Structure 1
């Protein structure tokens, strides 16, 4: 268990309260857009929203082969959900703008934006890091999300939701070798705080998606954070819950998918009316 957990029950796999097939968590009628959704954590999130019967899921990614495979597989398994794919590097504004214009033409307004793309630079101390590789984390997590949100807002539903797929290490102490990823994700968190402050009509939530052994994560030596790995379904299913009506009390808050949602709901009044689960430069306040 993480010492950061505000609840007693800490999950590493999915469980009934976040089952995306439950009518309580239905995404029927919703149009979802996700960046980096063709593999790893992103694909788990896409699959969970398909299980929740989302009307459409539009996936932005850079690799056509994984996009096509994801589309074909999920449309066969979940025929009620239409999967759209767009090759786009979120660092390149013209590609992102073009993708969102195409999405709007295809499905209309967008209900949920999931900002999932991030970049793990090579695991290296500051004096050993390649400058371009090191800074690319900021290009993706800050500039990329800036492009993504700005392209989304003109096509957002009036009561749209934004999910910032964050990370567990933001409130942790410095970990030599992870400076690019750590600092760029802290910067991204602050960026999304401004998105929320300037667009208070949006529901916005920061979600640590759990720890999966993905291609990006493989750059980091196993055990570096001291937190074990989770099952992929936990990540996707918890994100579906996080955008449901049950989680409205978490507007502007930061959560881990590992935290038991029933225990969080029992704390809802206190969380909503206080700084609990708000992440800032001084850490997580319970």
Structure 2
């Protein structure tokens, strides 16, 4: 995992901390003892590729007891599962084919995970959908509403499937989009609207994945930055962030210093 040099936030973006990161930093490193996931059962939706796969790797590096990933494409899930196993031979790894809009299949997947892995300590809701980048007048109505079907209803389904199988002090982490609070970008009305509506989940920075190929945006953040932050948020230092938004780019050490103010 590479660590970033400290930078300033780009113009127009939230600047709640003086430092702005585009890559991981030591405080959120999965190998830092304070971020240990030892003994934890972790579930990640959209865990086959991109950010989800990076998050799964990070929890393996943090020593999670078990990691289960959910996704729609078995070939990617198998690849991600193999990578996780290569990182930590002591981590039990499973995957389930499931579309988060299909609540019955999702419910069965979580039942399977509890039966084989135990109660869930951490859920990372990461699966999402990006619409075609076009103005509303040129948009396809089914594609536009698909953002809400996946990003809002799908997230709702994940929460409902998770709760019956969670430990009493389980941690739920939602990977959202910085675009939900950044200056508007033409052609992204469906995606941004659905992300704003998706239960006000924690926000993450812009990360280069297959989804962002559609946007043709400038250089992105490192997926390890999001992955490390998820591990940190699941640990004891981040309790004061419960129910809060947080851009991945914010400096964690500065944020910790403001815990009393934020809480």
Q: TM-score range by the shorter chain?
A: over 0.9
Structure having the larger proportion of residues in strand = 1
Instruction: Specify the SS of the correspondent of 2:154.
Output: helix
SS at match of 1:256: coil
Matched-pair contact (CA < 8 Å) for 2:123–2:171: yes
Question: Which one of 242, 245, 256 corresponds to residue 251 of structure 1?
Answer: 242
Deviation at 1:164, TM superposition (A): 1.0
- Aligned in 2, Cα 1:157/1:147: closer, same or farther, shift over 3 Å? same
1:207 aligns with 2:198: no
| Aligned residue in 2 for 1:176 | 186
Give the aligned CA root-mean-square deviation in angstroms.
1.2
- In structure 1, stretches of 5+ residues that fail to align are 193-205, 273-286
Q: Following TM superposition, by how much is the alpha carbon of 1:177 offset from its aligned partner in structure 2, in angstroms?
A: 0.3
Distance in 2 of aligned mates of 1:218 and 1:270 = 38
* C-alpha separation in 2, matches of 1:175 and 1:77: 38
What's the counterpart of residue 113 of structure 1? Answer: 123
- Post-superposition CA distance 1:55-93 (Å, at most 9, x none): 111100000000011111220221121111000000011
Look up the match of 2:139. Answer: 129
In structure 2, the partner of 1:85 is 95
1:172 Cα deviation after fit: 2.9
Alignment-derived partner of residue 198 in structure 1: none
The C-alpha deviation readout for 1:209-266, integer Å capped at 9, x for no partner, is x22221111111224xxxx411221111111111111111111110012111110011
Q: Which runs of 4+ in 1 moved over 4 A?
A: none
Q: For the Cα contact (< 8 Å) 2:171–2:234, is it kept in 1?
A: yes
Deviation readout 1:159-191 (Å, 9 max, x if unpaired)? 01110111111123432200111000011034x
Q: Verify the 8 A CA contact 1:168 1:256 in the aligned structure 2.
A: yes
Query: Residues 236-247 of structure 1: matches in 2 within 5 Å?
Result: 236-247=227-238
CA contact (8 A) 2:42 2:121 kept: yes
TM-score w.r.t. the length of structure 1 is: 0.86
The secondary structure found in structure 1 opposite 2:121 is strand
In structure 1, distance between residues paired with 2:39 and 2:245: 26
Equivalenced residue count is: 253
